[in-house]
Structure formats: C-alpha cells, structure tokens
C-alpha cells in the first residue's frame, strides 16, 4: 500500500495540465503558401465553395457560347477554299512582312497568312489567300518575281519557281467529318472505361468535363479570332486525352480516400474529396507545366525556326486545352462528382452521422469546460490550507524532554502498579 501511495503521489506530482490545442495551433509555425501547396496540406476548401466555382465555370461557358454564336469562327483556307502561292526564299534576306506588302499592293487586300516553311537554302514562302482569279494570280506572280527575284535550280532568277494552286473547301470538310467521328468514338470508349474502372457518377462527371473543355477551348478561338485549320481540329482531339488523364488522376485519389467512408465518421464524403484535391493539387500543376513546356517549345520552333504554320496551329490549341483542362479537373470535375454523390442515400446518411457526431462532441466539450470552470471557482474555499499554529500545543512535550508517567485524570496521582522493588 505504501508503494502504491508513493506511486500515486509521484504520478500526481509529474502530471501537467493538458495543452490548449487552439493556442498551440496559433503558436505553431506557419508554413508558406507554396510549402502547403507542395505537401498537400494547403486545406484549400474547394468543395465547400463549389457553388462559387460553379458560378465561375458557368460564366466561362456563357462567354464561350456567346463568342461562338455572335462572333463565330475564323476558318482557314482549308475549310473555305482559296489560293496558295509558294516560292523559294533565296538568300534569306526577305521577310514575311515584305511579302505581305507586295501581296497587298498587287491584289488590293492582305493575304490570309504568310509563313516560311523549312530552313536554310530549302526555305520557301507560302502565301494563303482567298480564291484568286487567273488574272490576279498572274499579276501576283509578276509582282513577287520583280521584287524578290527567286532563283531556280540552275541558280538563275526564274518566274517558274513561283507556283500556285487552288485549295478546295471539301478537304477541310472531310477532315472535320472524320474528326467528329473520332470524337464520338473517343467519348464512348472513355465512358465505358471510366464506368468499368470507377463508377457511373465519375463517368458522368468526366464526360461533362470533356464537353466543358471542348466548349471553352472553342470559345477561346472564337473570342480571340484564332484561325481554325485542320491542325486545330486535330489539336482538339489531343487535348481530350490530356483532360481525361488529369481528371482520372484526381478521381483515383478521391476513390482511394473515400474507400469505406460509410464505416467511419471522421470526415464526410465531400471533405474526403476535398482532401484528395489538395493532395493532387501539386501533381496537376506539375503535369500541366510538363505539358506546357514542350508546347511552348513547339510554338517557338514553328514561328522563329521552321516557320511552319501548321505546327503553330497545333501548338496553340494544345496550349489553350492544357490550361482549361487543368482548371476543369480541379474546380469542375471533382465538385460535380461530389454534388452527384451527395444525392445518394448512402452519402446523405453518412453526412448526417458525421454532423451528429460532431454536434455531440461539441456539446460534450462544452459541458466539460463548464464543469471545469465551476470546479475552479470552488477550489479556493474547499482546498484552503489550515492555519499553522505559532507555538506547539501545550500537551506536546518539548524536544529532548524526559517522558512523563501518565497521571489519573481525577487525582493527579501517578497510575499503574508499583515497582517490584517496593515490596
């Protein structure tokens, strides 16, 4: 019992007051924005503010639809038909601006585009314009020859090096038709894969995200006035793959976090999905950066090195698609998934359980806090230390004194038997 008593005293002496979690959180070092972003602990409340992101996405879609319906697309020569003129660049002194100037003086209107194809001695100018008559074409060839003197294979200036050809709009229509067929096949296969791999709500959200990306990208082209070429149509198909890839990354993490969520009451489905978004935030940004850098390199090479307009069109649509796809995978796809899942009975019941548990815990914490406050108010009166006497009690012998035989309380005489020596 003594050892147990000593242990209890030691334990009580070593006990410390429970730390204040709120003050500890306030006193904890605050990490920077980029640290929280990289580690996935940023706690960006995307799901809690999904109505705001719905409004932002709806605004973007409205602007895109308005641009498509009001302004329309600027179709290239491959869709509307026209004339293409090409000739050798020669020593490389001539510029595209000079070619545009000569074209405008000869025809009376600027060309659709002037690009340099190839590099070095094999570089050639390619001029695209609306359909020209035979007389206009001949007048243009003469003006280009007089100004630039392109040389033939024998090294002598020759007008025959300037070639022209008519471009039919049927070719662009065939490309568009085949692209639409490929788009439908892709959407069907993507829906089947996501449904088998994940669930139907993820498939619905992913397909809605693909439509969002296509619509917004097309709206950007209509709003800015970028020329739509067959390369643009091909680029639209390529960004679908990126958009689906980025969305699947987030959905894979959502599936991992929400596995067996109905058996726990720690977080709701929306909170688990929000955690998944935070955990994949940096990965999505890195994926976008890795995709954007080659696209920018392609644009630089296409414009300043090769002068290939087709590469420029392809890179431009991919750049717009990557940016739009990154936004949609985080701020549109996952919130839409959460909204669809919250309509199910399983998620609704689980959300109520989590909320009820938190209310119970909050009420219990409030009760414990009030009880501790009451105990602290009563502590000075109940635990008051007794007064210490200034002098020792009178019946207590002084230190070092001889013991005194007890006496009778009535007579005052010593009590007890006499010593055996008195016999």
Alpha-helical regions (H) of 149-199? 169-197
Average pLDDT over residues 355-384: 68
- The count of structural domains within the chain is 2
The Cα angle at residue 199 between residues 197 and 201, in degrees rounded to 5: 140
Q: Are residues 161 and 175 in the same domain?
A: no
Check: CB of residue 201 under 8 Å from CB of residue 104: no
Parent domain of 272: 46-74+171-354
Q: How far is CA 62 from CA 22, 68, 219, 323, 419, in A?
A: 44, 10, 9, 18, 121
Q: Are residues 59 and 136 in the same domain?
A: no
Q: Are residues 63 and 147 in the same domain?
A: no
Quick check: is 395 in a domain? no
The Cα angle at residue 255 between residues 184 and 326, in degrees rounded to 5: 55
Rounded Cα gap, residues 326 and 347, in angstroms? 27
Q: Are residues 163 and 196 in the same domain?
A: no
Quick check: is 383 in a domain? no
Q: Are residues 159 and 119 in the same domain?
A: yes
CATH of the domain at 121: 3.30.70.330
The sign of the torsion formed by the CA atoms of 133, 139, 143, 146 equals positive
Check: CB of residue 243 under 8 Å from CB of residue 217: no
The model's confidence at residue 60, banded by pLDDT at 50, 70 and 90, is very high
Q: Are residues 176 and 163 in the same domain?
A: no
Q: Are residues 119 and 265 in the same domain?
A: no
Q: Are residues 275 and 195 in the same domain?
A: yes
Quick check: is 18 in a domain? no
Q: Point out the least confidently predicted range of 53-62, 173-182, 239-248.
A: 173-182
pLDDT over 90 percentage in the chain: 11
Quick check: is 139 in a domain? yes
**Buried (b) or exposed (e) across 297-307, using 16+ Cβ within 10 A?**
ebbeebbeebb
Q: Are residues 191 and 101 in the same domain?
A: no
Coil/strand/helix, residue 410: coil
Over the chain, what is the mean pLDDT?
Answer: 76
Rounded Cα gap, residues 217 and 231, in angstroms? 14
- pLDDT of 309 reads 58
123, 94, 144, 134: CA torsion to nearest 10: 50
Greater pLDDT, 2 or 289 = 289
Q: Are residues 242 and 267 in the same domain?
A: yes
Q: Are residues 65 and 89 in the same domain?
A: no
């Amino acid at each position: 019992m003594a050892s147990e008593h000593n242990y209890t005293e030691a334990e009580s002496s070593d006990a410390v007051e429970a730390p204040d979690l709120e003050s500890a959180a306030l006193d904890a070092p605050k990490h920077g924005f980029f640290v929280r972003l990289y580690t996935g602990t940023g706690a960006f409340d995307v799901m809690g503010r999904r109505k705001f992101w719905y409004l932002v996405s709806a605004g973007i879609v409205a602007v895109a639809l308005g641009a498509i319906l009001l302004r329309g697309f600027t179709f290239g020569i491959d869709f509307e038909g026209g004339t293409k003129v090409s000739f050798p660049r020669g020593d490389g002194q001539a510029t595209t601006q000079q070619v545009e100037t000569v074209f405008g003086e000869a025809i009376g209107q600027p060309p659709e585009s002037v690009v340099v194809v190839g590099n070095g001695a094999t570089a050639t100018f390619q001029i695209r314009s609306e359909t020209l008559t035979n007389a206009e074409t001949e007048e243009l060839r003469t003006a280009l020859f007089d100004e630039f003197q392109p040389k033939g294979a024998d090294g002598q200036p020759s007008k025959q090096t300037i070639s022209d050809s008519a471009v039919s709009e049927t070719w662009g229509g065939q490309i568009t038709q085949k692209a639409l067929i490929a788009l439908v096949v892709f959407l069907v296969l993507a829906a089947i894969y996501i449904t088998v791999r994940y669930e139907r709500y993820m498939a619905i959200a992913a397909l809605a995200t693909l439509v969002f990306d296509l619509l917004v990208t097309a709206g950007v082209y209509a709003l800015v006035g970028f020329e739509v070429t067959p390369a643009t149509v091909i680029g639209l198909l390529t960004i679908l793959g990126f958009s689906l890839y980025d969305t699947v990354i987030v959905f894979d993490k959502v599936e991992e976090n929400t596995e067996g969520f109905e058996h726990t009451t720690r977080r709701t489905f929306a909170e688990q999905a929000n955690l998944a978004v935070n955990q994949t935030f940096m990965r999505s940004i890195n994926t976008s950066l890795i995709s954007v850098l080659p696209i920018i390199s392609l644009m630089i090479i296409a414009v300043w090195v090769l002068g290939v307009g087709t590469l420029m069109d392809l890179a431009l649509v991919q750049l717009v698609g990557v940016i739009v796809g990154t936004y949609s995978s985080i701020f549109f796809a996952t919130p839409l998934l959460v909204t669809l899942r919250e309509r199910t009975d399983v998620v609704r019941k689980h959300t109520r359980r989590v909320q009820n548990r938190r209310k119970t815990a909050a009420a219990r914490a409030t009760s414990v806090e009030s009880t501790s406050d009451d105990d602290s108010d009563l502590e000075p009166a109940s635990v008051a230390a007794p007064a210490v006497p200034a002098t020792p009690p009178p019946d207590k012998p002084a230190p070092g004194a001889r013991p005194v035989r007890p006496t009778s309380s009535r007579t005052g005489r010593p009590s007890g038997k006499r010593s055996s020596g008195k016999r």
